[in-house]
Structure 1
C-alpha cells in the first residue's frame, strides 16, 4: 500500500510572495528591499524541509555551470560547518539543537553568503527561494509596536499594515505548519529544519553521490 503523498507547496510559496508584494504596496514603497540589497542573503539560517523540496525542484532548471557553482559553494560551506560542529555529520536536522547552539553557528559563519547569491546581487533560484526569503523585509509587530525587519531598515514606515494583512500572514504560517507535517508523514523525516546550504545538496544525497 502506497504511503502518504508529499504535499505540493507551490501555491503556499506563490501566495506568500503575493502577500509580500501587496504588503509592500500598502506600506507606500517604504520597504527597502531592492535588487542588489543582499543584507539578508549573508549568513546561514534554518530553512524547512518544504524549502529543501522547493530548492531541489528548482536546481534542474539552471544551466549546468550555474548549478555546479551553487552546489560547490554549498559543499564548501557544509564541510566547514561540519568540521566546526561535528554533530552535523551525524544529522543535518536542527530540531534537537538549542537556540544557543544555533546562534553560535550563525555567529561563527555570519560572513557566508547564500550559495545561490550571484555576484550582481541576484538570487540564482529566485522562483524557488525559501518562504522566509519571500516575506523578509516587512516590519514585524509585537504588542502594538512595529520593529524593523533587518538592520538596513533603519526607520519604520509611518503607515502600518492593515490588520487583514497580519491575519493573512498568520493563515500562511498555519498552512506552512500543516504542509510541513504532511511532508514529514510522507517522508518519515525525524525533523523539519536544516541550515540553508544543506538544502542545495539534498538531491546529491538521495542519488548517493
Structure 2
C-alpha cells in the first residue's frame, strides 16, 4: 500500500482520537456500554484511511507470526470475496472515486463479515493500532438536531447530546486527520485516501 509515513502529525492524530473518546465517554456519565468483548461494531466492512492502514500494519508487525499470518489470511479471503462481486476493486482499491451508493451496496452485501483482527473472545488483536473510526466509535451522533446511538447496542441506553466543546473538538480532530492525510499523500504520491477495512491488513 505504499511507503510508510512516520510522522508526529500522524502519531498525535491517533492519540488525540483516543483521548477525545475518553473525554466524551466521561462527559456522558459512563452511559456508553462499549467495553472489552462488546464487538457489535466489529462486524461489517467500512472505509478506513491510508493512515489507518499504516497503523494496522504496525500492529500486525508487533504480533507473533502465527497471529499475524492468521489475520492476513482472513483479510485476503475477505478481499477475494469482495472483489468477486466488485472486480473493479482489483485495479482501483481506493474508494475516493466510487459512488456513495456503490459503497453502501458493498457494505450491505458484506455486513456480516467480521474484522480480520477480531479475536475469538470478541477482543481486538491489534487494539493499540486500531483505526480512527474504531477509536471514536460508540459516542452518540447528532444530525439535524437529532441525537442517535452509534450502534444497535445503544438503543437500550440513554442517549445524551455531547457538549459544544466536545463537538468542536471532534471537528478539529477531523481537520487534523485531513492535514495528516494531505502530508501522507505528498510523501507517497498515491491517489485516494480511503480503502475498505480488509485491504488495510494487506
What range describes the TM-score normalised by the shorter chain of this pair? Answer: over 0.9
Question: Where does residue 112 of structure 1 map in the other structure?
Answer: 113
Match for residue 130 of structure 2? 129
TM-score under structure 1 length normalisation? 0.90
For residue 7 of structure 2, what is the aligned residue in structure 1? 7
Cα contact 1:44–1:197 (8 A) shared by 2? yes
- In the TM superposition, residue 165 of structure 1 has moved relative to its aligned partner by 0.7
Note the 1:142-181 alignment, pairs <5 A: 142-155=143-156, 157=158, 159-181=160-182
Gaps of 5+ in 1: 202-209
Long gaps (5+) in structure 2: none
Question: Aligned partners of 1:108 and 1:199: how far apart in 2?
Answer: 19
**Distance between the aligned counterparts of 1:169 and 1:7, measured in 2?**
21
Aligned residues of 1:82 and 1:88 also touching (Cα < 8 A) = yes
Structure 2 counterpart of 1:41 = 42
RMSD value over aligned CA atoms?
1.4
In structure 2, what is the Cα distance between the partners aligned to 1:92 and 1:161?
35
Give 1:76-115 correspondences, 5 Å limit.
Answer: 76-115=77-116
TM-score (norm: length of structure 2): 0.93
Pair 1:194 & 2:189 matched: no
After superposition, give the CA deviation of every residue in 1:94-118 in whole Å (9 maximum; x if it has no partner).
1111011111111111110000000
For residues 85 and 159 of structure 1, the distance between their equivalents in structure 2, rounded to whole angstroms, comes to 39
